Chain A
Amino acid sequence: MVITHDPVDIVTIGAGMTASILAARILPGTGLSMVSIEQGGERWTYPDFAHNHDSLKYENRFEMMQDLSQVSWTWRPHEGAAALPMRQYGSFNPGQGLGGSLVHWTALTWRFHPSDFRYRSHYTERYGADKLPDEMTVQDWPISYEDLEPYYDALEYDMGVSGRAGNLGGTVVPGGNPFEGPRNRDYPNPPLAESRFGRRFTEATTALGHHPFPTPAGILSQGYTDPYGNVRAGCLYCGFCTRYGCEVGAKTSPLTTWLPPALATGRYEVRTRSHVIGIDTDSSGRATAVRYINSAMEEHVQPAEIIVSSSFMLENVRNLLMARSDAHPDGIGNDRGQLGRNYTYQMSQSPAKGLWEGERFNFFMGNGCTVPQIFDYNADNFDHSDVDFVGGARIYPNAGQREPIGSAQTLLDGLIDRQWGADWKAQLGRHWDSIATIGIEGESPAYAGNFCDLDPNFTDAWGLPLLRITFDWRDNERNMYRFIAARCEEIIDAMGPTRKTTSPELPDYRYDQYQSTHTTGGAIMGSDPSNSVTNSYGQVWDTPNVFVTGAALFPQNPGMNPSGTVGALAYRTADAIRDRYFGAPGELLT
């Protein structure tokens, strides 16, 4: 038996960051109704995170992550190789449950550079058409930094972002990021506290002529009442942040920020432990409903005017690929073969590691945002005329939240030969808090050979095909890494370690080691249906009552964390749906 619910105005697949933003921006002040179907369970700051400092449970056993026993993703380095599933957590860690991955995130909250939005035009204009390799399929976004600035601004104030402005209305402000785009006003809260190692990085990079600045964090540096009226506490620097829910609500999440005003309308409902198995379409190809299996294993149908795929990037691409019908034989959004194209990732590596004999840096305190950053070698902030690559990376010192189990596994790699035994134990005991890395988070340009489609061999717990990722690094990224790694070595030398070890060359991409949860692209936005899946609102060209939110929309991935731009894009989409869509339902927004 299939249970069909009364129609609502909007149904979303997933109840994470962007779904809660849509609900909080659209529902108050309108009479609209919205339902979110969420695969994970309900959880709240209190009581669910009240006693959660348990590294084994959260870091090593992945308590907050999508249940891999139910669904995974396959990967292969190129089309000629076998694609195998991620059987245990490796490269990336998508979350599940109310609030989605934005509950366990690290909370770096960036605005992309103005040049990031004009990627192909920017490099072509500055360096000539030959600068971009032929195989690179990077393209301009259909939206500019200036278009998005008001939404970045609103997002930062709703989240209470802690940071220091670097460019106020075109005037560079000392101590902030001089490479950021012009902002209308400063961050709503001052930067988080500094770490000991971070202070040393600031001194060294300043002496080298770089421009260190505090990480903009979606973590409150002090008590804050947001524009919705949520009253929130500041960060306690407890050291359990990434992969954890925040027990005081200082780390911004849907639970702290958007769900309270959305649920207060009484016109928003979240159905947890319910797994979407399909998007229904009618004979004209218009989407009509979302189909799911609920917690009692019953099949349900939720009809709606608007269907939003607001899951994690990988699931969003899969949701559309699986929505095959006579009208859309290759899936929704794929009438012109654009779906799955421009899958990109993030180059997250630690090229240099040092040991400072006798130092204690207190790495177990703080979080991933209590450090400075430099953007001097990110994007096109440095001259690429004489280098053999495009792109760049942010460079940062080892952040806080060192946990004992995971760190003991790998901390001495590269510093001693044998990673067990009496010497290993003695060195770990002596140096556990004295070893630190210089890390990078780099760009991932798009290529025709890196893409997502449906796997022909593996299915999930509901018998549906897994998403297949085809991805590997190219020479551009190897060259970029070599250059950035050399800068990291200069920085670590300036920081005076007793010993160091470096990784001057980019290793092959591997699926089994955690690098970054910033998988991007696959359902990209663009200027017209010939180069993209959606318009700048995430509205699917060939099925305009379907929207996609999140990082699947990115044409390629810049050298910084995606959530700030994911949020700003969702704000813009929410306003367009609220103010304009229902005046002409099913029409493309312009």
Chain B
Amino acid sequence: MTDAESDHTITGAHSGITRRLFLGSVASVGGLVLVGCTSDGMFAPDGTSTPGAELRPFLTAAERTIVTAIVARLIPGTLGDPGGVEAGAVDYIDGKLARFSAFAEPSFLAEPYVDVIESGPVPIGDAVLTVSSDQLYRYGYQSGVLPHELYRRGIEAFDGFTVARFGAAFAELGPEEQDRALDVLDRLQQGSQGGENSDQGGENTPGGAGGSGGSGGGPDQEGFTEARSAFGDLNPGEFFSTIREDAIEGMFADPSYGGNRNLVGWALIGYPGYQRAWTPTEMLLGTRRKPQSLENLPTMNPDRHDEHSIPALEQPIDGVKDG
């Protein structure tokens, strides 16, 4: 197998769709095929149990340096106070990119895609798919840019932006300038989210919104124009929110996904991890249990084949089968 990028035509269920995909590798190590990445962007198994196996990296060494530098500012850490890098969030991100040719979550990728206009009247009609830039956030992800492309081209664009604005590649800037550079992307993203509405949404808010970035005019004191110019047809805010969301996943997901090493993410927030049960007393008074990952969580109703075995209360029943 190779990890060559290629143009690929989706020939799956969505007839007539042609989208440019940057194909990740389907990793094969030691003869063990890990995950069958589907080429049409369908939801692939996450492969939570791949002991001892490694996926071929998606990120190049140079890209990995930049992603590491970004994660180190998003969730800063030291050995004594681990952050995203120490937790293995970069490995998590690379693993996610290597494992999924498109998105890790089920995504509707069929054409057509929306046209966005910055100003002026929006045409009306059933066949018209045009949205003004200040309304786009309400529809969520619509850009059609897949994570491989967003990372590959976004990293390059981000470096281009910091060279233009701060005079050096991102990884070579000092921490304060790095934060200022990230802040430009963050504020572009916030500005695309309908003002106060960006504070709404509760704890289950998916990211990856497809806003087009802030629309403030005037001189480029903020760096918005430079950022937009460096990113071209990519959305800098989408790049920022994607890498932030991925870094958080790498900090706080189960360690079997490659991040949250030694449960440092859960230790940070005081989360005791995956437990089988809590008592009503613990709900009121708290707990002193040690954090536990999925690997150490006992299976409920395990199959036991001895004279003491008690069958699970709930068992499959005949009468259900694939049609």
Residues of A within 8 A of B (CB): 15, 37, 41-42, 44-47, 49-51, 53-57, 59-62, 65, 67-72, 75, 77, 80-82, 84-90, 98, 193-196, 199, 231-233, 236-240, 247-249, 255-256, 259-260, 263-264, 266, 268-274, 292, 294-295, 300, 349-350, 360, 362, 364-366, 370, 400, 402-411, 413-414, 418-422, 425, 428-429, 432-433, 437, 439, 456-459, 461-463, 501, 503, 505, 507-515
Other than A47-B303, A194-B284, A513-B140, give 12 A-B pairs with Cβ distance below 8 A: A45-B314, A46-B300, A61-B105, A69-B107, A88-B107, A90-B206, A194-B280, A247-B300, A400-B283, A413-B201, A420-B74, A425-B83
On chain B, the residues within 8 Å of A419 by CB distance are: 186, 244
Residue B203 is within 8 A (CB to CB) of chain A in the complex: yes
> Is B313 an interface residue, CB under 8 A from the partner?
yes
B32 within 8 A of A: no
Specify which chain A residues have a CB less than 8 angstroms from the CB of B74 in the assembled complex: 420-421
Residues of A within 8 A of B286 (CB): 360, 362
Residue of A with least CB distance to B252? A404
27 residue pairs from A and B, CB less than 8 Å apart = A42-B321, A56-B46, A68-B105, A69-B41, A69-B43, A82-B114, A82-B130, A86-B108, A87-B108, A88-B103, A259-B317, A259-B320, A263-B318, A365-B287, A405-B248, A414-B199, A419-B244, A420-B74, A420-B186, A425-B77, A425-B268, A457-B129, A461-B12, A461-B13, A509-B138, A512-B137, A512-B140
Pick the contact of B249 from A60, A292, A294 — CB < 8 Å?
A60
Q: A68-B108, A82-B128, A86-B108 are in contact. Are A366 and B283 (CB under 8 A)?
A: yes
Tell me if B4 counts as interface (CB < 8 A to partner A). Answer: no
Asked if B269 is at the interface of the complex by the 8 Å CB criterion, the answer is yes
In the complex, chain B residues 35-80 whose Cβ is within 8 Å of any chain A Cβ: 40-43, 46, 48, 73-77
Chain B neighbourhood of A236, CB < 8 A: 276-278
Q: Which of B119-127, B153-161, B229-237 contacts A (4 or more CB under 8 A)?
A: B119-127
Q: Is the CB of B200 within 8 A of A256?
A: no
Query: A55-B254, A82-B114, A294-B322 are contacts. A44–B202 as well, Cβ < 8 Å?
Result: no
Task: Report the minimum CB–CB distance from B312 to chain A (whole Å).
Answer: 4
Please report B residues at the A interface, Cβ cutoff 8 Å. 12-15, 40-43, 46, 48, 73-77, 83, 103-110, 112, 114, 122, 124, 126-131, 135, 137-142, 179, 182-183, 186, 194, 196-209, 244-245, 248-249, 251-254, 257, 265-266, 268-272, 274-280, 282-287, 294, 297, 299-303, 312-323
Contact across chains for B122 and A410 when beta carbons are under 8 A apart: no
What are the residues of chain B within 8 A of A300 when measuring CB–CB? 323
Partner of B141, one of A81, A263, A508, A512: A512
| Cα A57 to Cα B45 with chains together (Å) | 10
Most chain A CB within 10 A, of B131, B199, B269, B314, is at B314
Question: What are the residues of chain B within 8 A of A54 when measuring CB–CB?
Answer: 48, 254, 274, 294
Please tell me which one of the listed residues A80, A87, A410, A459 contacts residue B203 in the complex, with CB atoms under 8 A apart. A410
Nearest chain A CB to B182's CB is how many angstroms away?
Answer: 7
Q: Which of B15, B42, B271, B316 contacts A42 (CB 8 A)?
A: B316
Q: Which residue of A lies closest to B283 (CB)?
A: A365
Is there an interface contact between A196 and B283, defined as CB atoms closer than 8 Å? Answer: yes
User: In the complex, A529 Cα to B48 Cα: how many Å?
Assistant: 53
The total of Cβ contacts below 8 Å across the A-B interface reads 338
Interface core residue of B274, B282, B286 (most chain A CB under 10 Å): B274
> Contacting B108 at CB < 8 Å: which of A72, A273, A294, A508?
A72
CA distance A68 to B103 in the complex (A): 11
Q: CB < 8 Å: which of B46, B202, B300 contacts A51? A: B300
Interchain CB contact (< 8 A) of B283 among A46, A53, A195: A195
**With known contacts A273-B323, A508-B197, A514-B202, A55–B131 Cβ distance under 8 A:** no
Q: How many angstroms between the C-alpha atoms of A255 and B316 in the bound complex?
A: 9
A501, B200: Cα distance in complex, Å: 11
Q: Are A90 and B283 neighbours in the complex by a CB distance under 8 Å? A: no
Determine how close the nearest CB of chain B comes to the CB of A463; give it in whole angstroms: 7
A232–B109 contact, CB under 8 A? no
A462 lies within 8 A of B280 (CB): no
B323 and A274 within 8 A (CB): yes
* Most B-side CB within 10 Å, residue of A366, A418, A425, A505: A425
* Distance A409 CA – B287 CA, assembled complex (angstroms): 24
